[in-house]
Amino acid sequence: MQSSVIESWLVPLFVVSLLYVGAFAVTFSVLMPVQRMVLPELANNASILFLPHGVRVLTAWLFGWRAVVLLAPGGLLTHAYLYGTAGFSSGYFFAALFGIFCATSTFWIFAKLGMDFHQEQATMISWREIVLAGSFASVINVAGTSYFYGSDIRSSSAYFIGDLGGLLACMVILMLGFRWMRTART
């Protein structure tokens, strides 16, 4: 029983949290300084390559509803880093929740509409389905965060582009990693 809990919850929780915080750190420590030099007019926290969205979508695809629990520590920790204690006022906190719930709810909505893209339902990985779900998840995320942050259309557009760009970047990294693993075995 204890081994089952560790394998099914604690290990994924640790890995997803580590990946989310790592993606966040790369986004805000490496990518955002470059973006500020090239596009200084964008809102401070609107990255046009937001890697954590890729982690959210892939986690929701792999783990279904459990992704909410797995994403919560990393999502809330990075949110606290960005906004401090002010980030836990009602508006900012609900914006963080939109980020945590957006991908999982999108996969659930698609499944209810007869398009179950979850990993366990697939006979083969369909990257197009994941990108489609990730795009809709971004729409949900952008709608919620824009509402609670009071973002203008320019920032909202940057959030959407960043979410989609981050998802695509994570998928390219995964594909290259899988290719490298296949060639390393031969």
What string of DSSP letters covers 41-103? TS-TT--SS-HHHHHHHHHHHHHTTHHHHHHHHHHHHHHHHHHGGGGGSHHHHHHHHHHHHHH
Average pLDDT over residues 72-90: 91
Give the per-residue pLDDT at 126: 84
Please count the structural domains in the chain: 1
Give the per-residue pLDDT at 122: 66
Average pLDDT over the chain, rounded to whole? 90
Min mean pLDDT across 2-6, 73-77, 80-84, 96-100 is at 2-6
pLDDT value at 7 more than 90 = no
Its pTM stands at 0.91
**Max mean pLDDT range (3-7, 35-39, 160-164):** 160-164
CA dist 183 to 174, 178, 180, 186, Å? 14, 9, 5, 5
Contacts of 7-16 spanning 24+ positions with Cβ under 8 A:
9/66, 9/69, 12/63, 12/66, 12/70, 13/69, 13/70, 13/73, 16/55, 16/59, 16/63, 16/67, 16/70, 16/71, 16/74
138-165 per-position pLDDT tens digit: 999 999 988 988 888 888 898 999 999 9
79: domain range?
2-185
pLDDT value at 10 more than 70 = yes
